[in-house]
Amino acid sequence: MTIRIRDIHKVYRIGTEKVHALRGVNLEIGRNEYVAIMGASGSGKSTLMNILGCLDQPTAGSYELNGRLTHRMSGSQLARVRNEEIGFVFQSFELLPRATALANVAMPLAYSRRFFWGAKRRARHALEKVGLGDRMHHKPNQLSGGQRQRVAIARALVNQPSIILADEPTGNLDSATSDEIIALFKALHDEGQTIIIVTHEEDIAGNARRIVRLRDGRIVSDHPTSEDPIHQDFLRRALEAAHRQAAAATPAAAGSAAP
Ligand SMILES: Nc1ncnc2c1ncn2[C@@H]1O[C@H](COP(=O)(O)OP(=O)(O)OP(=O)(O)O)[C@@H](O)[C@H]1O
Ligand SMILES: [Mg+2]
């Protein structure tokens, strides 16, 4: 199992106030799974992603990543795990504004023991993989939103992580650009990449093979996409709407008399 979390709780404290963001989450995710995490705003999705990515520690419970318990790790061990095992993609891209696409993608390699040598070559290869072979020397403000997100995906891939974690990666993109990014995730999954994506959109979640739904810090459902009742209902409605549109566009079906 790539990820095994047991009874995870997360309590944020601000002064004397406590926010119980996760309330006993259990989850197992295997290699080459493609999982969508859904739930209302504030349900704990980003909190869970931050824990999965070792950016934050749970208040209680255990997290085993590739067979190793993360709460036993020191700060520097966690930093290494983050660098080598996890690739992050964020809604706001999080690129260095003054650095070229190539320098942004090469950045994680500077901290990597495995790939320090040959960093440029690897970064170039990652950019080619996301279709940006002709934009290596552009800075983020010289790229479109979709291209920026592709740079971020190349950066996430460059260390060959065991998991890609994407928190609303299409949240700042228009729908055509979102489709491109989602097609890229699909291709990566087909190549064997394990992917966990947070999204608010059913049609984006529909590309994943499994949908985990959170409510108030708890998992309320966890199904293969083809068996998820909410998603299947969404698909049925979308199909009905498409039929209605097609019928309205056909004069005979719409009941208008032919001349
Ligand atoms: N650093 C923090 N300090 C205090 N409370 C926090 C912190 N981060 C999140 N919270 C609270 O924890 C709860 C879960 O937040 P989280 O960001 O995980 O939600 P989310 O599901 O990602 O929401 P969204 O869809 O809006 O991104 C919320 O009530 C939020 O206010
Ligand atoms: Mg969030």
Q: What is the pLDDT of residues 147-201, one digit of tens each?
A: 999 999 999 999 999 999 999 999 999 999 999 999 999 999 999 999 999 999 9
**pLDDT value for 252:** 64
Regarding the beta carbon of 14 and ligand 1, being less than 6 Å apart is answered yes
**Mean pLDDT taken over the chain:** 93
How far does residue 36's CA lie from ligand 1's centre (Å)?
Answer: 18
Q: DSSP assignment, residue 33?
A: -
Segment 235-258 shows an average pLDDT of: 80
Residue closest via CA to ligand 1's atom 25 equals 41
Q: How many independent structural domains does the chain possess?
A: 1
Task: State how far the Cα of 165 lies from the Cα of 48, in Å rounded to an integer.
Answer: 11
Q: Is residue 209 part of a domain?
A: yes
Q: Is residue 236 part of a domain?
A: yes
Whichever domain contains 169, its CATH number is: 3.40.50.300
Sheet holding 60-65, edge to edge: 17-29, 3-14, 60-65, 68-69
CB 241 within 8 A of CB 67: no
Res 220 pLDDT > 90: yes
Q: Is residue 215 part of a domain?
A: yes
For the segment 85-118, what is each residue's pLDDT rounded down to a tens digit? 999 999 999 999 999 999 999 999 888 777 777 8
Q: Is residue 210 part of a domain?
A: yes
How far does residue 100's CA lie from ligand 2's centre (Å)?
Answer: 28
Q: Is residue 205 part of a domain?
A: yes
Q: Is residue 167 part of a domain?
A: yes
Q: Is residue 140 part of a domain?
A: yes
Res 258 pLDDT > 90: no
Q: Whole domain around residue 165: which residue ranges?
A: 33-55+73-247
Q: How confident is the model at residue 47 (pLDDT cuts 50, 70, 90)?
A: very high
Q: Taking the complete model, does pTM exceed 0.75, yes or no?
A: yes
Task: State how far the Cα of 192 lies from the Cα of 181, in Å rounded to an integer.
Answer: 17
Among the bound ligands, the one closest to the CA of 37:
1
Q: Is residue 223 part of a domain?
A: yes
